[in-house]
Amino acid sequence: MAKPTLTLNGKVVEFEPGQTILQVAQAVGVEIPTLCYLKDATPTGACRICLVEVKGARTLVASCAMPAGNGMEIQTDSQAVHTSRRLNIELLLASGSHNCLTCEKNGDCKLQALAYRYGITDIRFAGQTQQYPKDESNPLIVRDFSRCILCGRCVQACNDLQVNRAIGYGYRGAASKIVTTGDRPYQESDCVFCGQCVEACPVGALTEKKAVGLARSWETKQVRTTCPYCGVGCQMWLHVKDGRVVKVTAVEDAQPNRGMLCVKGRFGYDFIHSPERLTTPLIKGEDGQHHPATWDQALDFVAKRLKEIKKKHGADAIAGVSCARSINEDSYNMQKLFRGVIGTNNIDHCART
Ligand code: SF4
Ligand code: SF4
Ligand code: SF4
């Protein structure tokens, strides 16, 4: 059966039933700017930046929430669209306290980028903006709601993607704010500090506390790696300045984590530069102290002791517990070593404890 078609900026394109206008545009490489749209979450149409003109429609429509229809004629960058987007960006800027110089997100902010792209140099709308004290009460996330544009991406990231349901919209009208249950600090709420809300926030309202003041986005290079913590193998970016990891974010479209991380992967990187980190094996001497050794010395020592124990007490005097952080292949090799080489079935895995 022939696929439905629509006309996008004068060009006829096919689409899959159920796709939104935004998804159709993205599929054929037509860029429509967005702020609140979060992939894999239910569209909200909150920010009105992705507005497009659909022939015959009474108003401009939010392309993230509007299903594509057969025969639609759509303009993504007409004068009406441009004027409306510009106005909405101005209103968002006017609704908060946006001093980019003092903002941690300077250079990596979608609102700032849109303001520049749409040539906004003055805010025409003066008014009383809601001021919130910066919440720095927990060790991992800074919340600065004076910069919040109420796009809702953090709520969707928490509820739809991570399914933690720790935050939602609170209060009403100009006092609207993203809150935990009872508007308590994160550390007193259901928050598990996965940091997905921070990753989703397009502006400087939610930022990584440990990264404050360490680097502007243009000063870092991003190095892709695999999370060192467990066998899932989540894909992450290390943001590195002068050889130092300043923060960690998820790789958006990569398996298996598809842009998500847990608290360990996102925030547990202090060990990399810890002066207490072990950098060589240690062998306990007869003096009871641990002494640095090479890997060859350490492995020879372990093999010698295992052989001695087996000879004296039998193979079942030895047991192995492998690590839940290991990959499947390492766990397989561990049981092979114990069953096939040492000769015992005393092999287990710490995930069962
Ligand atoms: S949130 Fe964006 S626009 Fe607002 S101050 Fe920070 S960088 Fe500037
Ligand atoms: S850190 Fe995770 S659990 Fe906590 S509010 Fe953000 S997304 Fe929700
Ligand atoms: S905190 Fe960030 S992601 Fe959440 S609503 Fe405000 S601007 Fe959007």
Residue at which a domain ends, from 277, 308, 325: 277
Q: Which residues of 14-44 are buried (b: 16+ CB within 10 A; e: fewer)?
A: ebeeebbbbbbbbeeebebbbbbbbeebebb
72, 46: one domain: yes
Q: Residue 55's pLDDT is what?
A: 97
Q: Is residue 201 part of a domain?
A: no
What is the rounded radius of gyration, in angstroms, for the C-alpha atoms of the chain?
Answer: 27
- The residue whose CA is least distant from atom 3 of ligand 1 is 112
Q: Say what the pLDDT of residue 323 is.
A: 86
Q: Which of 55, 77, 99 is the last residue of a domain?
A: 77
Q: For the whole model, what pTM was predicted?
A: 0.88
Residue 247 in any domain: the answer is yes
Whole-angstrom Cα distance, residue 184 to residue 179? 7
**What's the count of helices (H) and strands (E) in the chain, helices before strands?**
8, 16
Q: Is residue 174 part of a domain?
A: no
Percent of the chain with pLDDT over 70: 99
pLDDT band, very low/low/confident/very high, at 1 (cuts 50, 70, 90): confident
Give the chain's domain count.
Answer: 3
CATH number for the domain including 28?
3.10.20.740
Window from 119-128, 151-160, 163-172 with minimum mean pLDDT: 119-128
Return the pLDDT at 13.
97
Instruction: Kindly state whether residue 227 falls inside one of the protein's structural domains.
Output: yes
53 lies in which domain range? 5-77
How much of the chain exceeds pLDDT 90, in percent? Answer: 87
Nearest CA, atom 8, ligand 2: 158
Taking the centre of ligand 2 as the mean of its atom positions, its distance from the CA of residue 73, in whole angstroms, is 40
Q: What is the mean pLDDT of residues 236-261?
A: 97
Q: Is residue 202 in a domain?
A: no
The pairing of beta strand 51-54 with beta strand 73-75? antiparallel
In a shared domain, residues 286 and 273: no
- Domain closes at, from 77, 96, 125: 77
Atom of ligand 3 nearest to the CA of 150: 5
pLDDT higher than 90, residue 190: yes
Q: Across the chain, what does the average pLDDT equal?
A: 94
Contact 250, 225 (CB under 8 A): no
Residues 11 and 73 in one domain: yes
CA of 206 to the centre of ligand 3 (A): 7
CATH number at residue 234: 2.20.25.90
Q: Which residues line ligand 1 (CB under 6 A)?
A: 98-100, 103, 105-106, 109, 111-112, 147, 203-204
Same domain assignment for residues 292 and 332: yes
**Those residues with Cβ within 8 angstroms of residue 213's Cβ, 6 or more apart along the chain or in another chain:** 104
In a domain, 114, yes or no: no
pLDDT above 70 for 193 = yes
Per-residue pLDDT at 353: 62
Same-domain pairing of 264 and 304: no
- Whether residues 242 and 289 share a domain: the answer is no
Structural domain contains residue 89: no
- Is the shortest distance between the CB of 197 and ligand 2 below 6 Å? yes
Classify residue 297: in a domain, yes or no.
yes
